[in-house]
Structure 1
Amino acid sequence: MAWSKKLTQLNDILADLMPHHIGIEKYVRAAGLRPQMIVFNGSAMDIWNSVLSEADKNGKVNDLVSAVLAHYPENPYLLSALEATEVDYTLSPKLDEVTDWKKVDQDTLEVLTSRVNTMLPISFLENGILRSRAVGKVEIKHGLSFEVGSGFLFKLHKTDAVRFMTNFHVLSEKSRFPLTRIIFNFELDCSGNSKASKSFTIDENKPLLISKVSELDVSIFTLNDPDDELKEYGYLHLKKVGIDKNDFVNIIQHPGGQMKQISLYHNIVTHSTERVVQYLTDTMGGSSGSPVFNSEWDIVAIHHSGGNSRLDEPKLPATYKMRNEGISINPIIDFIDKQSQSI
C-alpha cells in the first residue's frame, strides 16, 4: 500500500480522538472490516495504522471515516477526509530527517507518571489566556485547497516594532504572501460560541528574515495594519531563557487549522541543546510555528516537527503518542539581532 498524505493525516486524527485501545474494534466492524486482520498490539497510533492499511486495501477508508463520524459528527478533520479537496495538515518536516532525537530515559517516564508536584497558582490560567491572544493561524491558499500553520506576534526589544514569527517550512517565499492570511481570535469563547476573528495580510515592503529548516527553521515578517488593530492581540516578549530535561512545556496552537487550542497535559521536556528542545506532547500538522512556553509563560522554543514513538524506545504510557521538537528561542534571538543590524 502506498501510504498517502491523506492516510497519514487520518492516522494522526484517529489516534488523537481515540488514544486508547478499547473501542477501536467497534469502528473496524462498523466499516465492514475483519478484526482478525488487524494488529491490536502497540500504541493507538500503531493500531490505527493497521486499521487504515486494511481499510485502504479493501477500499473501505471512507466507510471507516463515516463510522467514526457517527460519534464525532462535527470533527473538521474527518469531514474533510470525505471531500475530494483536502487541507494539507502535514506541513512539518519529518522529525527523523531534520534532527537527532534523543531517546526517552527512565527518569522521564517516572515524571510522566506524576511523581512530581504539578500544582500551579490559579494566575497561571489568566496569564496563559493573555499570551494566547498573540497566537494566530497561518492560512495559505494552494490551488483549490489550503495549507495551514501557526505563528505568533512578538517583540524583542522595547524599541522594536511588533512582527510575526512562524516556521520557514510553513512560509518562506514572498511570492506566496498575496495568498496568505494571518487570522487572530479564531477560537471558541467560554460558552462554546465562535469569537469574531480578524485576518491580516503580510506587508511585502517590509524585510523578511528567514533561516532554513536545517538551521533555525524560522520566518519573520510584518503584517499590514493600517487601522492599528493588531494592538488588540498584544505580543509575546522574547528573552533568553533556559530549559532543562523534565521541565514542563505548554503549546498554544492551531492544529490542522482548527480553532485555537492548547496542549496542556503531559508535556515534558526529554532533551535540550543550544539549538533544539525535544518534548512529549500532543500536536498535529498545522501546529508548526506555535510558541512553546515554560510554566512561567516564557517562550522557550518555536515548534517545528513531530513524529511517532520509535520502536526501540521504552514503552510510553497509553496516553502518550507523540515526540516533538522545537527550535530554541535563544539562537533565534541572536539571529534576529544580527539580521536586524544588517537591514
Structure 2
Amino acid sequence: MDWNRQLTALNYFLANMYDEKEETKRLSEEGGLNKIQIRFSEQAITNWYNILRHAAFEEDKIIRFLTFITDTPQEKGYKNEFLKGIIENIRQHTISKSGPDTTMDWKSDTITKADKEKLMGNRSNILPISFLEIGMDCSKAVARIRVGNELGTGFLIANNWLITNNHVLDSLSAAESASIQFNYQLSKKGNHIEHEDCELDPGNGRFFTDEKDDWTIVKVKGDLNEKYGALRLAEKGISKTEFVNIIQHPEGGPKQIALYNNMVTYSDENIVQYLTDTLPGSSGSPVFNTNWEVVALHFSGGWTSEPGNANPVYRNMGLNIRKLVKVLQDNNL
C-alpha cells in the first residue's frame, strides 16, 4: 500500500493519541506487528511513521492492526470513528478528497489567553435546546459525495443547488458520474442507517466551478429540498473569536459534527480560518455560525505548531460564503 494523505492524517492522529515510545512497542506487539522490524523513535511523529510504513506494507496487516485498536476496550482508540473510517476506506480502496496544505498561508496569531478570557466574559456558552434541534435539521442537507474511489462532502441550498469544492467535483464529467449520498450516518445505537444515493443534473448550464477559489455549484436531480431541506447562507461575515460548527464526512466516513472548542482566528472578504477539527473527506463541508447559517465553505487544512504546545495542531480554512452568494446573485441561481 503506497503512502498517501490518508496515512499522513492517520500518522498525526495516532502520534497524538499514543505519544510514548514504550506504549507503541506494546501496542505494535499486541496488534500483530513484528516489532523487531520496526525502528522505534522517541519522536512520536517519526515513531508512528515507521510503524505505519511497516503495517501498510500489506493491506490485511494494517487493517488487523487498526481493528485491534478500535475493537479493544482498553485502548485509547476504542470505537473511534476516525479510525473506523480509515479502516473502511482501506477495505473499499477509497481515498478522501483533500485540499492543498495551507500551513504556510496561516494568517492569524495563536488565540491568546486574553482572547479566551474576553470570550468567556462577553458571551455565555448556554444555548437553547432548540440549537440542537435546528442543527439536526441542518444536518439532513449535508451529503457524502463519491466520485469513483474518491470521497468528499457537499450540501444543499435553495432551489436544489449543491455546493462543494472544485477539488471534489472539478468537471462536468465528474459531476455526471458522482453519487450524492444522503443520510450516510450512524443511528443513536451506533448502527449504519439506510442512506439514499442521488444524482446530479449538471447539463445545460447547471454546473459552475472555480478552481482558484475552489468551489463548485451544481444542480441536483429532482426536488431534494423537499426531502432534505436547504441550508441558509449568512448575510454577513463572521469575526475573529466567534464560534463555528462543521457538519462533515471526515475521511469519507459517516456524518459527524465538530461542535465545541471551535473558534475563528482570522476572517476577511475571501477566507475564514478556524481551529475546528476536520480531516480529509471534510472538503466541501458547510461551516456554520451559532445561528446555523453557513459562513464558509471548508476547503483545506494543514498541520502546524503553536507556541507553548509541543503537539502539532490541525488548523482549517474555508472560503467566505459571501463570495458564493455573489456568484449565485450574478447568475440568478
2:317 alignment counterpart: 325
Q: Does the C-alpha gap of structure 1 residues 337 and 79 become closer, same or farther in structure 2, counting only changes over 3 Å?
A: closer
Q: Does the C-alpha gap of structure 1 residues 55 and 194 become closer, same or farther in structure 2, counting only changes over 3 Å?
A: closer
The structural deviation recorded for 1:258 is 0.7
Q: Does the C-alpha gap of structure 1 residues 198 and 12 become closer, same or farther in structure 2, counting only changes over 3 Å?
A: farther
Alpha-carbon separation, structure 1, partners of 2:156 and 2:7: 33
Match 1:54 to one of 41, 50, 53: 50
Matches within 5 A, 1:161-172: 161-172=159-170
Match 1:217 to one of 202, 211, 214: 214
Other structure's SS at 2:69 match: coil
Asked whether the 8 Å contact 2:161–2:219 carries over to 1, the reply is yes
Q: Does the C-alpha gap of structure 1 residues 205 and 78 become closer, same or farther in structure 2, counting only changes over 3 Å?
A: closer
Alpha-carbon separation, structure 2, partners of 1:8 and 1:24: 17
Match 2:153 to one of 150, 153, 158: 150
1:268 alignment counterpart: 263
Q: Does the C-alpha gap of structure 1 residues 331 and 265 become closer, same or farther in structure 2, counting only changes over 3 Å?
A: same
Q: Percent identity?
A: 30
The structural deviation recorded for 1:244 is 1.2
User: TM-score, normalising length from structure 2?
Assistant: 0.82
Asked whether the 8 Å contact 2:237–2:320 carries over to 1, the reply is no
Q: Does the C-alpha gap of structure 1 residues 59 and 150 become closer, same or farther in structure 2, counting only changes over 3 Å?
A: closer
The structural deviation recorded for 1:52 is 3.2
The structural deviation recorded for 1:124 is 0.9
Matches within 5 A, 1:113-262: 117-141=124-148, 146-155=149-158, 161-206=159-204, 207-212=206-211, 214=212, 216-225=213-222, 228-262=223-257
2:19 alignment counterpart: 21
How many residue pairs match? The answer is 312
The structural deviation recorded for 1:193 is 3.0
Alpha-carbon separation, structure 1, partners of 2:179 and 2:111: 41
Q: Does the C-alpha gap of structure 1 residues 113 and 88 become closer, same or farther in structure 2, counting only changes over 3 Å?
A: farther
Q: Does 1:282 align with 2:304?
A: no
The one-letter amino acid paired with 1:326 is: G
The structural deviation recorded for 1:179 is 2.0
Q: Deviations over 1:275-334 (max 9, x none)?
A: 111111211111000000111111110100011123xx223497x831000111112211
Q: Does 1:314 align with 2:317?
A: no
User: TM-score, normalising length from structure 1?
Assistant: 0.80
2:35 alignment counterpart: 33
Other structure's SS at 1:8 match: helix
Other structure's SS at 1:91 match: coil
Match 1:102 to one of 99, 103, 108: 108
Other structure's SS at 1:76 match: helix
Alpha-carbon separation, structure 1, partners of 2:310 and 2:293: 28
Other structure's SS at 2:136 match: helix
2:75 alignment counterpart: none
Alpha-carbon separation, structure 1, partners of 2:253 and 2:63: 18
The structural deviation recorded for 1:336 is 1.9
Question: Would you tell me which structure has more helix in proportion to its own residues?
Answer: 2
The structural deviation recorded for 1:125 is 0.6
1:43 alignment counterpart: none
Q: Which runs of 5+ in 1 are unaligned?
A: 41-46, 156-160
Q: Does the C-alpha gap of structure 1 residues 113 and 32 become closer, same or farther in structure 2, counting only changes over 3 Å?
A: farther
Q: Deviations over 1:214-242 (max 9, x none)?
A: 3x3110010111xx454110101223222
Other structure's SS at 2:35 match: coil
Q: Once structures 1 and 2 are overlaid, which stretch shifts more, 237-246 or 50-59? A: 50-59
The structural deviation recorded for 1:105 is 3.5
The structural deviation recorded for 1:114 is 7.1
The one-letter amino acid paired with 1:178 is: E
Alpha-carbon separation, structure 1, partners of 2:24 and 2:119: 25
